Amino acid sequence: MRSVTVPLPGREYEVLVGGGLLDRAGELLARRVPPCRLCLVADETVQELYGARAEAALRSAGFSPLPFSFPAGEESKRMDTLTRLLEHMAAHGLDRSDAVLSLGGGVAGDLAGFAAAVYLRGVRVAHLPTTLLSMADSAVGGKTGVDLAAGKNLAGAFWQPELVICDTDTLATLPPREHAAGMAEVIKYGAVLDAELLEPRAFEHGELIARCVQLKAELTAADERDGGSRRLLNFGHTVGHALERISGYSLRHGEAVSVGMAVITRGCERLGLTGHGGAELLTRALRSFGLPTETDFSAAEIYAAALRDKKLRGGTLTMALMAEPGRGRLLEIPPDSLREILERGLA
């Protein structure tokens, strides 16, 4: 088992990575959270796969799990699901000594984290991710949220977990498309922080996840609320979130980010904003996992959706770019410049 510490002002938490951790979840969680009532949040697919085992592990350590499930998919990451979850917690009388545990992918983690942040103005949360994307990225760092009709993740809160438990054995049940979507986020880390991760097949899952988590831990410690260097991890996401929305969420998050990274890098190369050669290397890495690097949506359609992105502040958009493989940079641009980058990247 690998352990990565996320150090924050006044507190820290661990991210545990290894096989066989699901059946030890109660024991591991009890080291950080005294046994209590625990709202266990999972989509229906994950609940069927792992819910009973998770509940048994929690009970063995003295926790009282209260399962809450919802239909799988991004469509459930909405205010109405959040409201049902909060009402579930209130109906069972959870108080500030109790906690929330997510089991599954990014949607479960976002919902559980947001509910924990706002219920009684804050209760403890932990995550037990079961997808590559959530293990390597979304379960760490404290970002939570739901989608609004106007765009993705427009309502949310920063709420750090007590513990993150990544059981790599659960990746065995991950569909190939979901595994590839997770690899898009891993390649993102390679593009802007660690060029070795542009060749993720060189690592076994545990090491790959631990390396990504270590990179995110360092950025989170330096910039917990996403006001500076942590924004490098938004590489591909302005376009990616726009593509998710206009595709009606038929694109997985990782697939949309893959297109976003490729399009932005091509456009920036052609405009001389980054060095040459990176776009080809990045595209090759993404395509090696069957990820998309093109889209049929027009620059105008993507631009219109991207203007709703929360990274737009005071009429200026902060773009994360791959300056060269393994090194990112942040560029402040007026929104009109994004249209030009999109047009060049899609040409």
Q: Which numeric CATH code is attached to 2-173?
A: 3.40.50.1970
**Is pLDDT at 68 greater than 80 in this prediction?**
yes
pLDDT of residue 276: 87
**Is pLDDT at 83 greater than 90 in this prediction?**
yes
pLDDT of residue 244: 96
Question: Which residue ranges make up each domain of the chain?
Answer: 2-173, 176-346
**Is pLDDT at 212 greater than 70 in this prediction?**
yes
Report the top-level CATH class of 176-346. mainly alpha
pTM of the predicted model as reported, rounded to 2 decimal places: 0.95
**Is pLDDT at 312 greater than 70 in this prediction?**
no
CA distance 212 to 238: 21
Percent of the chain at pLDDT exceeding 70: 98
**Is pLDDT at 235 greater than 70 in this prediction?**
yes
121: number of Cβ within 10 Å = 7
CA distance 290 to 280: 15
pLDDT of residue 6: 98
Percent of the chain at pLDDT exceeding 90: 94
pLDDT of residue 268: 96
Tokens of 45: 């697919």
Q: What are phi and psi of 302, to 5 degrees?
A: -65, -40
| pLDDT tier at 315, thresholds 50, 70, 90 | confident
CA distance 33 to 29: 6
- Residue 113's SS3 state is helix
DSSP 272-334: TSS-SSHHHHHHHHHHTTT-----SS-HHHHHHHHTT-TTEETTEEEEEEEEETTEEEEEEE-
Question: What are 165's strand-pairing partners?
Answer: 16
